[in-house]
Amino acid sequence: QQKVQQSPESLIVPEGAMTSLNCTFSDSASQYFAWYRQHSGKAPKALMSIFSNGEKEEGRFTIHLNKASLHFSLHIRDSQPSDSALYLCAVSMRPGTGSNRLTFGKGTKFSLIP
Amino acid sequence: GPKVLQIPSHQIIDMGQMVTLNCDPVSNHLYFYWYKQILGQQMEFLVNFYNGKVMEKSKLFKDQFSVERPDGSYFTLKIQPTALEDSAVYFCASSRDSLNQDTQYFGPGTRLLVL
């Protein structure tokens, strides 16, 4: 059974800082890797996703995947107050077969120093 | 961006009663999902639904659970009868298709408390 773990559990950084959130997964057959962001009491919102090893950048966010290490990460550049939220990583095993259940981590609570 | 709505936002119910959770998915989406999150734990997949049928369900999707989407109306999760361990936040999600792992869009959740 797929296990997804996130680190750290929480993170507090100053505004403008660069930071990294980490996610490890257990099943090497995993095919799809995503980050969601959830503000308190709101819906989880998809941030970025990746299928292949390597990096993808969108604005201040970069996702990096290393399948051999069973690890992917989210890098946030120039942290802003609006980035304060719970960040969830999610993994899917086999897209394209009519079954694309997501397995989530517990989340990293990300805050900016007030 | 696309929005998924869930009704109600909160529900308190006595153990043994029936409850129906409603989801209004994104209008052109074809795949629908329910996830369950117990306090302090990660969100876990319950079921996905396409073309009027359950495509896949997890071991959390007990016999007391059922899903349907009659005539393009709400996508619903019904629990009958409810048990104490059903207390959780239930998130609905929808996606356009599954062939390319299309993004799943989530609603804000229904917080269910079974007493």
Higher pLDDT, A30 or B97: A30
Say how far apart CA A17 and CA B45 lie, in whole Å.
34
A37-96 pLDDT tens trace: 999 989 999 999 999 899 999 999 999 999 999 999 999 999 999 999 999 999 998 665
Q: Which residues in chain A have their CB less than 8 angstroms from residue B4's CB?
A: 43
pLDDT value for B1: 80
Note the pLDDT of residue A4: 97
What residues pair up with B12 in beta bridges, in sequence order? B113
Report residue A68: phi and psi, to 5°. Answer: -65, -35
Instruction: Find the mean pLDDT for residues B72-98.
Output: 93
Instruction: Please give the DSSP secondary-structure letter assigned to residue A41.
Output: T
What pLDDT does residue B101 have? 66
Mean pLDDT across the stretch B45-61?
Answer: 94
Mean per-residue pLDDT, B6-34:
96
Distance CA B94, CA A31 (A): 19
Contact state of A46 with B101 under an 8 Å Cβ cutoff: no
Q: What is the C-alpha separation between B51 and A72, in angstroms, rounded?
A: 33
Closest CA to A86 of A52, A57, A43, A54: A43
| A99 CA: distance to closest CA in chain B (Å) | 6
CB atoms within 10 A of CB B64: 13
Tell the burial category of A41 from Cβ atoms under 10 Å away from its Cβ (0-12, 13-18, 19+).
exposed
pLDDT class of A97 with cuts at 50, 70, 90? low
Non-local (6+) Cβ contacts of B1 within 8 A are: A45, B105
Across chain B, mean pLDDT equals 93
**Cβ distance of B108 and A107 shorter than 8 Å:** no
A32 contacts chain B (CB < 8 A): yes
A 76-105 → B contacts, CB under 8 A: 88, 92, 95-105
Q: What is the mean pLDDT of residues B43-69?
A: 95
Residues of chain B found within 8 Å of residue A45, distances taken between Cβ atoms: 1, 106
Q: With a cut of 90, say whether residue B16 has pLDDT above it.
A: yes
In angstroms, the Cα distances linking B70 to A61, A72, B21, B53 are: 40, 39, 14, 11
Encode pLDDT of B63-78 as tens digits.
999 999 988 789 999 9
